[in-house]
Amino acid sequence: MSEGSEARDAVGDYKAGWHDPENSTIRFDFGLSEKVVRDISQIKNEPEWMTEIRVKAYRHFVERPMPTWGNTEELMEIDFDKVCYFLKSSEGIGSSWDDVPEDIRNTFDRLGIPEAEQKWLSGVTTQYESETVYHSIREDLEKQGVIFLDMDSGLREHEDIVKKYFGSVIPYSDNKFSALNTAVWSGGSFIYVPKGVHVEMPVQAYFRINAKNMGQFERTLIIADEGSSIHYVEGCTAPTYSTDSLHSAVVELLALPGAHIRYTTVQNWSNNVYNLVTKRGVAHENAKIEWVDGNIGSKLTMKYPAVILKGEGSHAEVISVAYAGSGQHQDAGAKVHHMASNTTSNILSKSISKDGGRGSYRGMAKVMPKAENCRMNIVCDALILDEESRTDTYPTMEIANSTAHCEHEASVSKVGDEQLFYLMSRGHTEAEALGMIVNGFFEPFTRELPMEYAVELNKLMSLEMEGSIG
Amino acid sequence: MNPDSVYLSSEMPDRADHLWRYTPWRKAHPTGNVREIPDAVSTPKIVLKTIDGSSLPEGISLVHEQTEFDDLPNEEIITKSFLQSVTKNSKFTLSVIPKFKSTTPIVVDIQTEGNYCATHLCLEIGRLAEFELVTVIRGECKWFGMMRTGSTGEGSVCNDVFVNKLSKGVTLRVESISIPRDSQFKSGTVSSGSTLTKADLRYRMFGPGGSLNVLGSILSAGEMSLDHHIEIYHDSPETFSRLDWNTACGGSSKAVGTGMLRVSKGSAGADAAQLFSNLLLSSDAQADSIPELEVSEHDVVGCGHGTASGPVDENQMFYLGSRGMSPSESKSTLIAAFLNSTLSEMGGDLMHGWLISELEDDLNELGD
């Protein structure tokens, strides 16, 4: 069987599973070593301090054992020597789509990115393999002092800010994969929103893996200064191959006093991608951080967006949905640490397991001894659609202050026969009825998405539900 | 392989292990030296009696046996082998004949002695038996180890309550009970003693129609550290379980409640729920809850869990104050009501009255 037909068969219903011929300008050999780390830094012409951080992170990654929790069997299958850690497909970053190499531009055309940018975005950055290939921001925002760059440009042009905040929320020693990311990071977004500026329309980043056995390690740092606000949306897809790819990002958010950051993710990697991501934000006085997190694709996702409520009156909101289909394990959740008084948090997690998929919620909610009058509410709902599937909930609540009000509830259920019967009595087929119920189940998530994403997600979920009855 | 060899050849657990995260094994070990199995572990005095002092009904007996016993259904190798080692000469079997019935609760009164004391109580409950059982531990030993294993009989109805009244020291408690077809087992824990408690309680429903109700009324005061881990396995269709665990946490004490609810594939019609509730009574008190859930069967009636932690409700305090109660009386009343919501479910009126009388002094202390 040719590679093309093999890929087509494997793609199935996954609409973003095609791949283009690989036209790289720089491609590293498989495997990771200190030399690879130093070479990445040298290619990017980085300052010495960044090279040193990378090397320290690499050494930590080598020494640190794999996590002993989560899906340890699948984690042990990752062969770090069979991953390409740097692949550059374009000579530079285009600020117009005409500047982007034609094959890459075609890819993003098929994914609908330029069209979305014209209609409803304040800025767009697109990453193809290891580096950003296109970047733009609306002029009026630029005039107000909003910085929206790819991370490499951010380091070059605003070294002082990057040096101050890089790794301040997620140090390389946080976990094995944050160490890996810090060692080999490339691409990602750097955003600074000045005091009092409200970015009304969302900015978007789109991440695409095209090559086989590719590792994508983008690094994102968003700083919202006092009283400002921003909504960041990211999407991601990859081709379907018979071998696995690795995506290990680190996202750091800083919401300074009174600021508001909303970070929305629609993760739709193909089912051969390990998605091992560390995301964390720090909210200062009266700031608000929201993670709106959708996980539809990937082979194994381990992702627990976190908020550290450092300032009094700060608030965290995490809305997370996961769909675990055949061969998928979505191990997602949330972490909130109430460090200051009068802080509040809400976590809503929903998952669907189907065709042998496994959905897990894993969470940590902590109230520190000096944090008075904190409120926390966590709700986890799971649907299991067939006898092959599985769902788990692993919440942890550590409450060290007697004035805290904390609640957690979780439920696991199947789609009710009476719900299906009702909808079918109104003329819907079983598949349509199930699609509607599932879309309704995910509605608290989709209503928080920009309209185009919500419509696309509903379509996607309806497609996933086809043939799941009987 | 004898239990000494099993224990000494086992890898000691680290804190990454869920079971040992909050109370490491060295703290629950009698000497703290986890590579040691102490020799001088005494056997407690155990008396079987009725709760009201009346004569024991026929059909129930306690025998001091030193025979080998079956493996635990869902075993944790470290505590199992350790307690097997230290209870070699302290194994008792509580036998209940089929169709045994008693309206008066039966008490297994355990008086601990010496520095280190341990026992293994094996439950052999006959089919269709119906009775209530209280196991109470008392005394002043520095370390007490208690293992309870066994099976309830098919179609039996048993309300079983464990009461910890040790004045100090460390309690290591391991329980593993199998619940067969149509058996209804209620397992209550009342804890107001020991400075440190590490409990690993496991229940497995392996027959259709099995029903389990796990209840906890935990008073955590002073500098106590009470760590209860409860695992419930639904390994058969049409099984039912509920867990309600109420902890009142005062002083600078720390209470941990961890639960694991596993519904295995093939357990269609399983109906399971867990709820951990923590009442925080002082600024230095800490309560941690981890109610975990693993469901591998889609055709379930429902599986859920919840936790709630908070202080005494101010509106309720105000209401009682407006009826003439002092703040201290109001607080004591609300704490008692909170703990009584699970205590009252553990058994009939006779047992409930007895449990209240046992806890009264401790409750007053917590309210202050």
A414 lies within 8 A of chain B by CB: yes
In one letter, which amino acid is A134? Y
Task: List CB contacts (< 8 A) between B334 and chain A.
Answer: none
Residue listed under structure tokens 């004035």: A403
* Residue among B296, B304, B309 whose CB faces A397 most closely: B309
Chain B residue with Cα closest to A367: B286
Q: Which H or E run contains A454?
A: helix A451-465
Q: To the nearest whole angstrom, how far is the Cα of A344 from the nearest Cα of chain B?
A: 14
pLDDT > 90 fraction of chain A, expressed in percent and rounded: 52
Mutate to test the interface with B, among A335, A362, A402, A409 (most CBs of B within 10 A): A402
CB contact under 8 A, A414 and B303: no
* Residue among A69, A399, A414 whose CB faces B298 most closely: A414
Enumerate the β-bridge partners of residue B89: none
Q: In terms of C-beta density within 10 A (0-12 exposed, 13-18 middle, 19 or more buried), how is residue B268 classed? A: middle
Q: What CA–CA distance (Å, rounded) separates A468 from A27?
A: 42
pLDDT band at A37 (very low <50, low <70, confident <90, very high): very high
Task: List CB contacts (< 8 A) between B288 and chain A.
Answer: 396-399
A368 lies within 8 A of chain B by CB: no
* Residue among A390, A395, A399 whose CB faces B309 most closely: A399
Say if CB A325 and CB A298 are below 8 A apart: no
Chain A residue with Cα closest to B254: A400
Residue A447 phi, psi dihedral angles, 5° rounding: -70, -15
Q: Quick one: pLDDT at residue A266?
A: 85
Residue listed under structure tokens 């505590």: B79
Q: Per residue in A85-127, pLDDT tens? A: 987 766 666 666 666 667 666 766 766 666 666 665 666 777 7
Q: To the nearest whole angstrom, how far is the Cα of A42 from the nearest Cα of chain B?
A: 38
**Coil, helix or strand at residue A13:** coil
pLDDT at B21 over 50: yes
Q: Quick one: pLDDT at residue A21?
A: 60
B329 lies within 8 A of chain A by CB: no
Task: List CB contacts (< 8 A) between A385 and chain B.
Answer: 298
User: Does residue A403 fall inside a structural domain?
Assistant: no
A416 lies within 8 A of chain B by CB: no
Residue B6 phi, psi dihedral angles, 5° rounding: -60, -45
Strands A189-193 and A147-150: antiparallel
Cα–Cα distances (Å) from B302 to A100, A262, B146, B214, B268, in that order, read 53, 34, 34, 17, 10
Q: Kindly report the pTM of this predicted structure.
A: 0.84
Do A295 and A431 lie in one domain? The reply is no
Q: What CA–CA distance (Å, rounded) separates A149 from A135?
A: 7
A413 lies within 8 A of chain B by CB: yes
Half-sphere exposure of A244 (CA within 13 A, CB side): 20
Chain B residue with Cα closest to A379: B306
* Residue among A384, A393, A401 whose CB faces B292 most closely: A393
CB contact under 8 A, A396 and B307: no
Q: To the nearest whole angstrom, how far is the Cα of A163 from the nearest Cα of chain B?
A: 33
Say if CB B251 and CB B223 are below 8 A apart: yes
Q: What CA–CA distance (Å, rounded) separates B186 from B346?
A: 7
pLDDT, mean of residues B118-146: 94
Task: List CB contacts (< 8 A) between B308 and chain A.
Answer: 406-408
Residue A58 DSSP class: H
- Which is more confidently placed, A202 or B323? B323
CB contact under 8 A, B309 and A406: yes
Half-sphere exposure of B134 (CA within 13 A, CB side): 28
Q: Which of A323, A268, A324, A316 is nearest to A292 (CA)?
A: A316
Say if CB B170 and CB B30 are below 8 A apart: yes
pLDDT > 70 fraction of chain A, expressed in percent and rounded: 79
CB atoms within 10 A of CB A352: 28
Looking at A272-375, list the stretches that DSSP marks H as alpha helix, in order from N- to C-terminal side: none
Q: What is the mean pLDDT of chain A?
A: 85
pLDDT, mean of residues B253-266: 93
Q: Per residue in B191-216, pLDDT tens? A: 877 899 999 999 999 999 999 999 99
A319 token code pair: 């809305």
Helix, strand, coil distribution of chain A in percent, nearest 5 = 30, 35, 35
Looking at chain B, list the stretches that DSSP marks H as alpha helix, in order from N- to C-terminal side: 3-9, 25-28, 77-86, 314-322, 327-343, 349-367
Say if CB B225 and CB B198 are below 8 A apart: no
Q: Per residue in A421-458, pLDDT tens? A: 999 999 998 888 888 888 888 888 888 877 767 776 77
User: Does residue A407 fall inside a structural domain?
Assistant: no
Q: Residues 140 to 159 of A: which have CB under 8 A from any B CB?
A: none
Q: Quick one: pLDDT at residue A9?
A: 47
Q: In terms of C-beta density within 10 A (0-12 exposed, 13-18 middle, 19 or more buried), how is residue B68 classed? A: exposed
Mutate to test the interface with B, among A68, A341, A399 (most CBs of B within 10 A): A399
Q: Angle at Cα A344 formed by Cα A446 and Cα A308, nearest 5°?
A: 90
pLDDT band at A6 (very low <50, low <70, confident <90, very high): very low
CB contact under 8 A, A412 and B310: no
User: Does residue A375 fall inside a structural domain?
Assistant: no
A68 lies within 8 A of chain B by CB: yes
Task: List CB contacts (< 8 A) between A391 and chain B.
Answer: 293-295
A400 lies within 8 A of chain B by CB: yes
pLDDT, mean of residues B316-337: 93
Q: Residues 261 to 320 of B: which have CB under 8 A from any A CB?
A: 265, 278, 280-300, 302-311
pLDDT, mean of residues B263-284: 93
pLDDT, mean of residues A401-421: 89
Say if CB A88 and CB A132 are below 8 A apart: no
User: Does residue A401 fall inside a structural domain?
Assistant: no
CB contact under 8 A, B308 and A68: no
Pick the last residue of a domain from A264, A281, A303: A303
Q: What CA–CA distance (Å, rounded) separates A13 from B155?
A: 51
Cα–Cα distances (Å) from B238 to B154, B208, B269, in that order, read 15, 6, 5
Q: Quick one: pLDDT at residue A173?
A: 95
Its domain, for residue A453, covers 416-470
**Most distant CA pair in chain B: distance in Å?**
66
Instruction: Locate the domains of chain B by residue range.
Output: 3-314
pLDDT band at B68 (very low <50, low <70, confident <90, very high): low
* Residue among A69, A406, A410 whose CB faces B305 most closely: A410
Task: List CB contacts (< 8 A) between A402 and chain B.
Answer: 280-283, 285, 311
Q: What CA–CA distance (Å, rounded) separates B319 from A434?
A: 49
A392 lies within 8 A of chain B by CB: yes
pLDDT band at A8 (very low <50, low <70, confident <90, very high): very low
Do A297 and A444 lie in one domain? The reply is no
**Coil, helix or strand at residue A421:** helix
* Residue among A384, A404, A407 whose CB faces B295 most closely: A384
pLDDT at B51 over 80: yes
Residue B23 DSSP class: S
CB contact under 8 A, B285 and A402: yes
pLDDT at A470 over 50: no
pLDDT band at B14 (very low <50, low <70, confident <90, very high): confident
Chain A residue with Cα closest to B282: A402
Q: Which of B233, B306, B263, B305 is nearest to A384 (CA)?
A: B263
Residue A208 phi, psi dihedral angles, 5° rounding: -130, 125
Q: Quick one: pLDDT at residue B368?
A: 52
Q: Does ipTM exceed 0.85?
A: no
CB contact under 8 A, A389 and B298: yes
Task: List CB contacts (< 8 A) between A394 and chain B.
Answer: 290, 292-293
A397 lies within 8 A of chain B by CB: yes
In one letter, which amino acid is B4? D
CB contact under 8 A, A390 and B310: no
Task: List CB contacts (< 8 A) between B292 and chain A.
Answer: 392-395
CB contact under 8 A, A398 and B291: no
User: Does residue A439 fall inside a structural domain?
Assistant: yes
Q: What CA–CA distance (Å, rounded) separates B145 from B29?
A: 9
CB atoms within 10 A of CB B66: 11
A220 lies within 8 A of chain B by CB: no
Do A288 and A430 lie in one domain? The reply is no
A369 lies within 8 A of chain B by CB: yes
Q: Quick one: pLDDT at residue B172?
A: 95
pLDDT band at A341 (very low <50, low <70, confident <90, very high): very high
**Most distant CA pair in chain A: distance in Å?**
68
Residue B228: partners with Cβ closer than 8 Å, 6 or more residues away: B189, B191, B197, B199, B201, B216, B218, B245, B256, B257, B258
pLDDT at A53 over 50: yes
Chain A residue with Cα closest to B256: A398
Q: Which of A14-23, A351-360, A364-373, B286-295 has the lowest mean pLDDT?
A: A14-23
Q: Which of B188, B186, B175 is nearest to B211 (CA)?
A: B186
B225 lies within 8 A of chain A by CB: no
Task: List CB contacts (< 8 A) between B281 and chain A.
Answer: 402
Pick the last residue of a domain from A260, A280, A303: A303
Chain B residue with Cα closest to A401: B283
Residue B71 DSSP class: P
Q: To the nearest whole angstrom, how far is the Cα of B18 from the nearest Cα of chain A?
A: 9
Q: What CA–CA distance (Å, rounded) separates B146 from B165?
A: 13
pLDDT, mean of residues B277-285: 91
User: Does residue A16 fall inside a structural domain?
Assistant: yes
End-to-end CA distance of chain B: 52
Q: What is the domain count for chain A?
A: 2
User: Does residue A189 fall inside a structural domain?
Assistant: yes
Q: To the nearest whole angstrom, how far is the Cα of A390 from the nearest Cα of chain B?
A: 4
CB contact under 8 A, B292 and A392: yes
Give one DSSP letter per residue of A169-203, joined into a string. Answer: SS-GGG-HHHHHHHHH----EEEEE-TT-B--SPE
Say if CB B359 and CB B219 are below 8 A apart: yes
Over the range A332-344, which residues count as b (16 or more CB within 10 Å of their CB) and which as e? bbbbbbbbbbbbb
pLDDT, mean of residues B346-354: 93
pLDDT band at A1 (very low <50, low <70, confident <90, very high): very low
Q: Quick one: pLDDT at residue A319?
A: 92
Q: To the nearest whole angstrom, how far is the Cα of A377 from the nearest Cα of chain B?
A: 9
pLDDT, mean of residues A133-139: 70
pLDDT at A165 over 70: yes
Q: What CA–CA distance (Å, rounded) separates B307 from A409?
A: 6
Q: What CA–CA distance (Å, rounded) separates B358 from B338?
A: 16
In one letter, which amino acid is A207? F
pLDDT, mean of residues B309-327: 93
